[in-house]
Amino acid sequence: MSVTVKEGRGSLKAKRSLPAIFGRTVNQMAAKSGGISAETYMAGFRTVKDERDGELDSIADAVLAELIEKYPREWLLDQSRSAGKD
């Protein structure tokens, strides 16, 4: 899983990999909740269109740091453990 930052509609972009725990959590949650079809799985992902000033690499680093701060490891583990228990 990764964060991709693009400049306009052009081909300039910067990409950063999320820590592996993000991908494992998403996969475990999809499997436990029965969301294993490609359509259901992909419905959980989203694109955020947010305009920021700065260099693409700096913006990509900042977005990655924001996601890691917003979704800490323990929170991700809790989500994985509780998936499918609704």
Domain residue ranges of the chain, discontinuous segments joined by +:
2-82
Highest mean pLDDT pick, 4-13, 22-31, 49-58: 49-58
Q: Residue 6: helix, strand or coil by DSSP? A: strand
Please report the pLDDT score of residue 28 as a whole number: 81
Please report the pLDDT score of residue 16 as a whole number: 96
Backbone angles phi, psi at 14, to 5 degrees: -130, 140
pTM, two decimals, is: 0.78
Instruction: Tell me: pLDDT of 37 over 70.
Output: no
CB atoms under 10 Å from CB of 25, counted, come to: 22
Average pLDDT over residues 27-52: 73
Please report the pLDDT score of residue 13 as a whole number: 92
Please report the pLDDT score of residue 20 as a whole number: 92
DSSP β-bridge partners for residue 3: 16
Contact 3, 54 (CB under 8 A): no
